[in-house]
Amino acid sequence: MRTFELGLVFGTTIGVGAGILLAMAIAWYIMYRKKRFDRSHDTEKVCPRADNHPIRIHGSDSSTILSDSNHSRDSPRTSEWSNMPQWLEGLRRKSVASACGIPKYSYKELQKATRNFTTNIGEGAFGPVYKAQITTGQTVAVKVLATDSKQGAMEFLTEVLLLGRLHHRNLVNLMGYCAERGLHMLVYVYMSNGSLASHLYNEKPEPLTWNLRVQIALDVARGLEYLHYGAVPPVVHRDIKSSNILLDHFMKARVADFGISRQEKSALHSSSDIKGTFGYVDPEYISTSIFTKKSDVYSFGVLLFELMSGKNAQKNLMEYVEFVALGVEDNEGWEEIADPRLEGKFDVQQLNFMGGLAYNCVNPVSRKRPSMRKIVLALSEIRKPRNSETYQVITEETTFELDLQGTFDSSLTER
Residues annotated as part of the active site: 239
Beta bridge partner(s), residue 396: none
Helix, coil or strand: residue 82: helix
**CA nearest neighbour of 208 among 297, 299, 315, 306:** 306
Find out whether 349 and 370 touch, Cβ atoms under 8 Å.
no
CA dihedral over 154, 160, 161, 162, signed as positive or negative:
positive
Strands (E) located in 74-180: 120-124, 127-133, 139-145, 174-180
Q: How far apart are CA 337 and CA 327, in angstroms?
A: 11
Interatomic CA distance for residues 415 and 397, integer angstroms: 12
Alpha carbon distance 331, 327 (integer Å): 10
CA of residue 26 relative to chain centroid, distance: 49
- Residues 210 and 378: their CA atoms lie apart, in Å, by 16
DSSP string, 227-276: IIIISSS-EE-S---GGGEEE-TT--EEE---TT-EEHHHHTS--SS--S
Please give the helix or strand (H or E) that residue 139 lies within, else none.
Answer: strand 139-145
In Å, what is the CA distance from 118 to each residue of 143, 146, 172, 186, 405? 13, 16, 23, 17, 54
In three-state secondary structure terms, 142 is strand
